[in-house]
Amino acid sequence: MDFNLTQEQTQLSDTLRRWIEKEYDFEARRAIIKSAEGVSADAWSGLAELGLMALPVPEAQDGFGASGSDMFAVMQELGKGLLVEPYLATVSGVQYLKQDAEKHAELLQQVAGGEARIACALGEAQSRYNRYDVAMTAKADGDGYILNGRKTVVVHGAQADHLIVSARTDGDPRDHSGISLFVMAADAKGITRSDYRTIDGMRAADINFADVRVQVASLIGAAGEAWPIIDVVSDYSCALICAEAVGIMQATYETTLEYLKTRRQFDQPIGAFQALQHRMVEMFIEVEQARSMAMLAAARIGSDDAEERRRTVSGAMIRVGQAANRVGEEAIQLHGGIGMTNEMQVAHYFKRLTMFGAVYGDVDHHINRFTHQPAFPQSA
């Protein structure tokens, strides 16, 4: 397959790169992280003006209907800029809304115009990476449902205008069946959000739902049949996380290379030492292998073959996760102690790479998922 970006994707990447250099440089990002909300309304408006919010939205709802490969180009650049805005959370939410696009057309149009931000409240304290492990309940009540439970580590949960929430309408807590999805206003009565900063500068929240009432129209898909939707959208999010990580690794490699050219020891740049050159070559190989797997995952997330999609996405999460650890650790070692200080951009790259897989599954989780696909040979 062709791993080169198209002309349109390259143009979009270049435009986004220039915007980041002008409006979202390292110092601007540090100021945003230290702010009370942890995100920037001006940056969100800038992303919307560039058309990024409309990119994944269907054309029928005023979007562009972008492919996975288009989103790869965007996420790679956002990774290089270490964006802390709720972009990934919102575009993941768009994928859920697209399952019932006509019903939720108004919200999709608001997202496309940059007027709404979404967070996906799926994880619970006991569930770890298993999104089917849902203890939160949604009890039928007249023309709606009453939701009770708690969601944890909801990325940008406190910055969202709308939440997409999984809750159990039937079955036992670890059943794949009986899970339903609802979309609701984030400030609905009965919702309380506890906001905090994560180690990589992002924001997350623990959210309590106490007798939160929603209408039947809030359902995404059919009641009790949400697991296939969650499975598909989780893979979509994984593919985008891989693309973001590739962008971060590329920036980490370039920053480290520049440092080796300027840091001097024994009257010469330390980059002249052959042992360090070998380590930089190994970093380069890690980045390129991760890029290839991430691009493959982005191309396959729209596949009708669920087994192929799961296998490819988990394969990408494994390879990118391994590369993220290697590249991040090498960068810090090659910089020395100064690489751990907040004044150095490489420290922020390292923190984000360290968090890779924290939400949608680490390397061990995806190895287990990959090896349990039907096409994987099982031992006798």
Q: What confidence tens digit (pLDDT) does each residue in 85-117 have?
A: 999 999 999 999 999 999 999 999 999 999 999
3-state secondary structure of 330: helix
**For residue 2, pLDDT beyond 80:** no
Q: What are the pLDDT digits (tens) for 192-232?
A: 999 999 999 999 999 999 999 999 999 999 999 999 999 99
Question: 166 near 131, Cβ under 8 Å?
Answer: yes
Q: What is the pLDDT of residue 236?
A: 97
Place of tokens 């799926």: 122
pLDDT-derived band at 379 (thresholds 50, 70, 90) equals low
Nearest CA among 351, 344, 355 for reference residue 320:
355
Q: What is the mean pLDDT of residues 125-139?
A: 95
Question: Minimum mean pLDDT among 200-204, 269-273, 365-369: which range?
Answer: 269-273
Task: Give me the pLDDT at residue 3, please.
Answer: 64
Does position 380 have pLDDT exceeding 60, yes or no?
Answer: no
Taking 80 as the threshold, does the pLDDT of residue 378 lie above it?
A: no
CATH 3.40.50.300 applies to domain 7-116 = no
Summarised one tens digit per residue, pLDDT across range 293-343 is: 999 999 999 888 999 999 999 999 999 999 999 999 999 999 988 888 988
pTM above 0.85? Answer: yes
In the prediction, which pLDDT does 373 show? Answer: 86
Which pLDDT score is estimated for 4? 77
Q: Share the mean pLDDT of the chain.
A: 94
% of the chain beyond a pLDDT of 70: 98
- The reply to whether CATH 1.20.120.1200 applies to domain 119-224 is no
Q: What is the pLDDT of residue 374?
A: 85
Higher pLDDT, 130 or 303: 130
Burial 270-308 (b: 16+ CB within 10 A, else e): bbeeeebeebbeebeebbeebbebbbbbbbbbeeeeeee
Q: Is 148 exposed, middle or buried (0-12, 13-18, 19+ CB in 10 A)?
A: middle
Burial (0-12, 13-18, 19+ Cβ within 10 Å), 265: exposed
Report the alpha-carbon distance of residue 34 to residue 43 in Å, rounded. Answer: 15
Q: What integer pLDDT is reported at residue 377 of this predicted model?
A: 73
Read off the pLDDT of each residue in 176-186 and give the average, rounded to a whole number: 97
Answer yes or no: are the C-beta atoms of 83 and 33 closer than 8 Å.
Answer: no
What is the pLDDT confidence band of residue 185, given thresholds at 50, 70 and 90?
very high
Domain 228-371 sits in which CATH superfamily? Answer: Butyryl-CoA Dehydrogenase, subunit A, domain 3 (1.20.140.10)
Confidence (pLDDT) at 265: 82
Give me the residue spans of the domains in the chain: 7-116, 119-224, 228-371
* 8 Å CB contact between 321 and 359: no
Q: Within the chain, how many helices (H) and strands (E) appear?
A: 11, 10
Q: pLDDT tens across 26-38, in order?
A: 999 999 999 999 9
Name the CA dihedral angle for 286, 254, 203, 311, rounded to a multiple of 10 degrees: -20
Confidence band of 272 (pLDDT split at 50, 70, 90): confident
Q: What is the CA radius of gyration of the chain?
A: 21
Model confidence at 363, pLDDT cuts 50, 70, 90, reads: very high
Summarize the confidence of residues 374-380 as an average pLDDT. Answer: 68
